[in-house]
C-alpha cells in the first residue's frame, strides 16, 4: 500500500515539475509582438466577423435558403 501511494506521489511531482518548467520557459521568453494593440483588436474583430459570415453562409447553404 505504501509503494502505491509513493508511486502516485512521485508521478504527481514529476508532472508538477514539468508544468512549472513550461510556465517558467514562457515567462523567460515573452512573445515578441510589436504590433499596436488597436491594430490587433481590429484584426480580431475582422476575423470574428469573417467567422460569423462563414457560419451564416454554411447555415444558409445547409438549409437551402437562397
Which pLDDT tens digit goes with each residue over 27-51?
Answer: 776 666 677 889 989 999 999 999 9
The residue with cell 508521478 is 11
Identify the residue with better confidence: 30 or 12.
12
**Overall domain count for the chain:** 1
CA distance 60 to 66: 7
Domain span at residue 10 reads 2-29+36-62
Amino acid at each position: 500500500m505504501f509503494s502505491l501511494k509513493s508511486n502516485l506521489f512521485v508521478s504527481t511531482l514529476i508532472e508538477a515539475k514539468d508544468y512549472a518548467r513550461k510556465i517558467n520557459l514562457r515567462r523567460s521568453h515573452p512573445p515578441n509582438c510589436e504590433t499596436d494593440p488597436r491594430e490587433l483588436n481590429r484584426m480580431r474583430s475582422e476575423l470574428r466577423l469573417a467567422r460569423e459570415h462563414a457560419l451564416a453562409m454554411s447555415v444558409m447553404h445547409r438549409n437551402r435558403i437562397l
